Structure formats: structure tokens, C-alpha cells
Amino acid sequence: MTRRQCYAVVEKRACGCCERCGIAISKERPEWHPQRAHMNHKRPRSLGGKDTPENCELICQGCHMPGGSHAPTNDRQTAMRRKKGSS
């Protein structure tokens, strides 16, 4: 499956909403917009993650960017934020 095909499947599954927090999102918004759609790999490609619908999610900028306003979704993210804050 190509990256474009994967994005189309994930976009259809998400129904125009962030798959983490549920706000309405669109890939048509400007890059800086908080409701810009981003495709995120749950397991990063750098660690062997694939472009598959099971490994990808459509999320808003707040959920995608490090230090975003949305709550972390796993223990690794929580640990990384604690480590940053303790310096």
C-alpha cells in the first residue's frame, strides 16, 4: 500500500475528526492552523513502522506536535515530558 492510499483509508476512517481528541480537522487548513490534519505513525517509520491503516492515525496539530496542549496518549510520551520538565 502506498502512502497516499494509506492516507485515503485513514482519512475516511477518521470522518474529518482527530482520532485522539475528536475535534474537526482538515488537511486543507494552513500548516500553522491548530485544526490542520496530520497523519501520525503510531510506531514511527524510523523504528520499523509501516504505512498501514493499523499503524496510522489522523490527528490535529495539538495532538501531533511535541508539547501540544492535548494529553499524552502513552507512557513513553508521559516519561519524555516528565524528563523535559525536570531539567
**Coil, helix or strand for 68?**
coil
* Class of residue 32 by CB neighbours under 10 A (exposed 0-12, middle 13-18, buried 19+): exposed
For 40, the grid coordinates are 501520525
Residue 72: what are its φ and ψ, rounded to 5°? -65, 150
pLDDT in tens, the chain (87 residues): 888 999 999 999 999 999 999 999 998 999 888 899 999 999 998 999 999 999 999 999 889 877 544 444 555 555 555 555 544
pLDDT value of position 87: 44
Strand stretches in the chain, DSSP E = 38-41, 56-59
Radius of gyration in angstroms for the set of CA atoms belonging to the chain, rounded to a whole number: 14
Residue 56: what are its φ and ψ, rounded to 5°? -115, 155
Distance CA 61, CA 25 (A): 9
